[in-house]
Amino acid sequence: MKKFYGKSVYKGIAIGPVMVLKHKSKNINSRKSSDPDMEIERVKQGIRKARGQLQTLYEKAAAEAGEDGAAIFTVHQMLLEDEEYLGAVTDLIRTKQVSAKYAAAMAGDQFSAIFAGMEDDYMKARAEDIRDVSNRLVRCLSGEGEGDFRFKEPAIIIADDLSPSETVQMDKEKVLALVTIHGSLNSHTSILARMMNIPTLIGVPLDLGKIRTGMRAVVDGIEGEVIFEPDESVCEETRKRIWSEQEKRKLLQEMKGKDTVTRSGRKMKICANISSISDVESVLENDADGIGLFRSECLYLERDDFPGEEEQFQAYAQVLRTLGAKKVIIRTLDIGADKQADYFQLEKEQNPAMGYRAIRICLKQPDIFKTQLRALFRAAVHGNLCVMYPMITSTEEVEKIYKIVEEVKGELSAEQTAYKIPEQGVMIETPAAVMISDELARMTDFFSIGTNDLTQYTLAVDRQNEKLDDFYNPHHEAILRMIRMAADSAHKYGKWVGICGELGADPELTERFAEMGIDELSVSPSMVLPLRKRIRELP
């Protein structure tokens, strides 16, 4: 039994025989050519052929991975006809007197090396797409067809690396899992594997020479491990886990892609809460309508110094790009109380939950706040961002926030940095915010009700104190009336209102929330589909 670890792309489990996929090396023998016009004509013919192949792959991907997964092949068509790439191919043919094949391969290598060297993880991952497209063009110019990715028996595919085209050509029914030595979580191969629900591990340090086709293996995407030649007890345990995962998935698959709507036609959005960038995967997997709460403090915790603007920008932009058109609500820094980071040098307090925390830190130390706002506004260009501010207790706080927002806007404009001011909302998680919710609704774009803190502050029960668990009752009529009051205020001014505290996932209250007209519930990713099911059963 031999175990290896890698990065998990899709958290599924599989057991079965291994199939080692070895790539043929590129066969570019005819390098020189003295007839550049003929070579350029060949390039044009090659592009026509490659375009046709990409259209076929687009259709296969759309059927198996949905339109989002298939979009990869539209990107490939664009890369194939990219003027800079084709210009480089033509230049090489004319100046170096080389063949169309050789020029296409060289230009592909040059362009993918440029992208591989970029800092942005998203751009880095595009190197693989460029390589995939130029290899396709080379194959078309050589008269070679697509590789044969139709396997006879279901197998766990082990490879050095896989391109998106190779992945989509595989017969989904015959692929138990994918395991590669290289690859990135942002690559289109990974995106496709996720969309196709194939258990996939990348970055597994394997020696392909030591792995034989036909060997038995277990791929565990939850633990991020692959076990070759597992003993019988591991196989038995794995079969049981596969069965229970399949049962769970069957129920949830039924809910995927369905509208979140009651039987009488009332629509609600079910979004997901995330506390780290790696949670984004499960947001997509559970088909959430968006991210209703991204606790941005995760970027500030467990480190020795403040995260810089660039680091934050990259993180926010990555989440926004991954979610595409879906809404992402990022909450500004909510540090303090139970969330401590030494470098903030926060003093010990008698009542930390009621102390120097969240928006209070941001308003008192605007440099920290401005860095985050700059990163957020820059990232807003890359997706559908909303920003919300935590622990609001007064309209003066909102005015102060807007003043800082104006300053940040001025700075970004003066520097000619691309940015966008997103919708701005506030969290309703203090009784004060509820009582002035009509005024807050006038000033903001939306509300998100934080029932965890709202319960703590309304009932005067420390949410951290285990001894008080019996007194921490979010079903208390006071809390439910507050939620209704905040919702009524928001709607009076034509604003939308969501619940992002834990209470949002409580199925006993879903009907009541629907009656109150709550527009959005944001819950942990695994609760999205069960809640959608619940809402669809409501009258």
- Identify the residue among 281, 334, 506, 519 touching ligand PEP (CB under 6 A): 334
Q: Pick the binder of ligand PEP from 262, 444, 451, 510 (CB under 6 A).
A: 451
CA angle 309–75–277, rounded 5-degree value: 35
Query: Any catalytic annotation for residue 188?
Result: yes
183 binds, among Mg ion, ligand PEP, none (CB under 5 to 8 A by kind): none
Using CB under 6 A, pick the residue from 479, 500, 516, 518 that binds ligand PEP: 500
Shortest separation between residue 271's beta carbon and ligand PEP, angstroms: 12
Nearer to Mg ion by C-beta: 128 or 429? 429
Please, which of residues 269-328 interact with ligand PEP by CB under 6 A? 293, 295
**Shortest Cβ 504–ligand PEP spacing (Å):** 9
Nearer to Mg ion (CB atom), residue 129 or residue 429: 429
Contact at 8 Å (CB) between 136 and 128?
no
Taking the complex as a whole, how short is the minimal distance between the CB of residue 427 and Mg ion, in angstroms? 6
Question: Does 453 sit near ligand PEP (CB under 6 A)?
Answer: yes
- 210: how many CB neighbours lie within 10 A of its CB? 9
Minimum CB distance to Mg ion smaller for 358 or for 408: 358
Q: Which span (6-14, 153-161, 254-262, 450-458) binds ligand PEP, by CB under 6 A? A: 450-458
Tokens, residue 280: 């984004």
**b/e 396-409 (16+ beta carbons within 10 angstroms → b):** ebbebbeeebeebe
* # of chain residues touching ligand PEP (CB under 6 A): 10
Q: Is 518 left (phi over 0), alpha (psi -120 to 50) or beta?
A: beta
Residue among 215 and 363 whose Cβ is closer to ligand PEP: 363
Smallest separation, CB 240 to Mg ion (Å): 39
With CB under 6 A as the contact rule, the residue among 309, 452, 476, 517 that binds ligand PEP is 452
**Which of 132, 397, 429, 519 is in the footprint of ligand PEP by CB under 6 A?**
429
The phi, psi pair for 448, rounded to 5°, reads -130, 120
Q: Give the nearer residue to Mg ion in terms of CB position, either 220 or 429.
A: 429
Q: Which does 500 bind (CB under 5 to 8 A by kind): Mg ion, ligand PEP, none?
A: ligand PEP
The H or E element containing residue 89 is helix 83-96
Q: Shortest distance, CB of residue 60 to ligand PEP, whole angstroms? A: 42
Q: State the nearest-atom distance from the C-beta of 442 to ligand PEP, in Å.
A: 23
Helix (H) or strand (E) holding 309: helix 309-323
Closest CB to ligand PEP among residues 211, 500: 500
Quick one: 220 or 429, whose CB is closer to ligand PEP? 429
User: Among 490, 482, 438, which residue's Cα sits nearest to residue 456?
Assistant: 482
Region of 257 please: left (phi>0), alpha (psi -120 to 50) or beta: left
Segment near ligand PEP (CB under 6 A); pick from 160-168, 235-243, 369-377, 448-456? 448-456
Nearer to ligand PEP, 165 or 458 (CB): 458
Residues that bind Mg ion (CB under 5 A): 429, 450, 453
Determine the Cα–Cα distance for residues 228 and 218; give it in Å rounded to an integer: 7
**Of residues 140, 271, 386, 500, which has the active-site annotation?**
500
Instruction: State the pairing for strand pair 269-274/290-295.
Output: parallel
CA torsion 483-283-291-278 (nearest 10°) is 120
**Contact present, 520 and 528 (Cβ < 8 Å):** no
Beta strands per DSSP E along 464-528: 496-499, 520-523
Among 69, 290, 450, 525, binds ligand PEP (CB under 6 A): 450
Q: From CA 25, how far away is CA 489, in angstroms rounded?
A: 66
Residue 200 binds which of ligand PEP, Mg ion, none (CB < 5-8 A, kind-dependent):
none
**Taking CB within 5 to 8 Å according to partner kind, which of ligand PEP, Mg ion, none is near residue 501?**
ligand PEP
**Rounded to whole angstroms, what are the CA distances from 361 to 344, 377, 394, 403, 463?**
10, 20, 15, 16, 21
Q: Which is nearer to Mg ion, 181 or 298 (CB)?
A: 298
The item of ligand PEP, Mg ion, none sharing an interface with residue 295, based on CB under 5 to 8 Å by kind, is: ligand PEP
Residue closest to 422 by CA, chosen among 375, 465, 463: 375
Enumerate residues 6+ apart whose C-beta is below 8 A from 189: 128, 162, 163, 164, 166, 167, 180, 183
CB of 508 to Mg ion, least distance (A): 22
Query: Least Å distance between CB 343 and Mg ion?
Result: 22
Give me the residues paired with residue 499 across strands: 449, 521
The residue number whose beta carbon is nearest to Mg ion equals 453
Q: Take residue 378 and report the two structure tokens written for it.
A: 């820059």
Among candidate residues 188, 271, 362, 382, the one labeled active-site is 188
Interface segment toward ligand PEP; rule CB under 6 A; list 153-161, 225-233, 343-351, 451-459 = 451-459
Q: Which of 441, 498, 443 is nearest to 290 (CA)?
A: 498
CB-CB neighbours of 533 under 10 Å: 16
500 belongs to the catalytic site? yes
Active site residues: 188, 500
Interface ranges with ligand PEP (CB under 6 A): 293, 295, 334, 429, 450-453, 500-501
